[in-house]
Amino acid sequence: MITCSDSRINPALLLNAQPGELFITRNIGNVVPSYLIEGSTQAAIEYAVNVLNIPKIIVLGHSNCGACAHMYHEPKEDEPILSHVDEWLKNIVPAKSAAMLEEHQDSSKNIFELTAKHNVVVSLQRLMEYPYIQERLVKNKISLEG
């Protein structure tokens, strides 16, 4: 499971799972980065798929996501600079673009919630870039869910 580092999200509680039943990686915004970039999220995915042979990957997003809201935040002069956060959240730019297009077509929709939903979709699409996931998808040895 790939989920947000937000403390309100407790995957084991949500899925009624016991210790050892879930392999979870958490990061700001439940982001799956591109396969071409190295990082701890990609390392966790690689290990879970290639060593643990997990049968399913779930990207678990959530409402009121601060990472998605941060995409629209204009920093004020007295706020701290969050250079690492801003760099990480570049991964959410495609979701923001899709959300802005959808919101433009229907202004009654909440842009932050749209961004959170599109972020899950983008993360699922990125998982399909990983060669070992592609291989398992073709053989029906893994499924992806958002």
Q: List, by residue number, the catalytic residues.
A: 4, 6, 8, 62, 65
Strands (E), 68-146: 143-145
Strands 25-27 vs 2-4: parallel, antiparallel or unpaired: parallel
C-alpha distances (whole Å) from 72 to each of 67, 125, 127 are 10, 23, 25
CA-wise closest residue to 88 among 26, 7, 10, 44: 26
